[in-house]
Amino acid sequence: MDYYNYLKSLHLIFVITWFAGLFYIVRLFVYQIEAADKPSPEKEILQTQFKIMSYRLWYIITWPSAVLASIFAFWMLLFTPTGNAWLQMPWMHVKLGFVFVLYLYHLKCHQIYKQLQKDEVNYSANFMRLWNEGATIILFAVVFLVVLKNAVNWIYGVIGIILFSVLIMLGFKFYKRIREKK
């Protein structure tokens, strides 16, 4: 059982770096989309630099972190007595549902990454700013589930997440107005 705490520590480290990568990659998407509207040669210089930064972040930090976080999670869940017990608990089922949604979010970010690497801009910078909050909402949900370990109260958590999302959108609209005035 001593190795369980090592597995848990490694899992947490890679979850943190995975989220850091997801938060930052979408910011890079915003910058890359905004660079597409710049005049030459600024446009080409910025786009080249953002493509390099995105590539390194995505393939050196974000993808490996996602894979390693999952490996250590599966190891804890499947090969330790505590993990086997947790798989029987309803809160863990809800948490794993959010992890599944996180992977869908990650895969959508991968699709956007590939499009931007080919200079295909299919989304606005404002959409990307809102998209960036998706990972934040998932992070809140998972952390509260893990700390509280209560799937019954997840309904309150979902209501809280929805209210949090509304606050984020209101904050975004307020920030957009400030930016437009400048």
Output the six-digit token pair for 128.
């990307």
Q: What is the pLDDT of residues 3-61, one digit of tens each?
A: 888 999 999 999 999 999 999 999 999 999 999 999 999 999 999 999 999 999 999 99
User: Which is it for the CA torsion 176, 136, 98, 107, positive or negative?
Assistant: positive
Q: 112 pLDDT exceeds 80?
A: yes
Q: What type of residue sits at position 63?
A: W
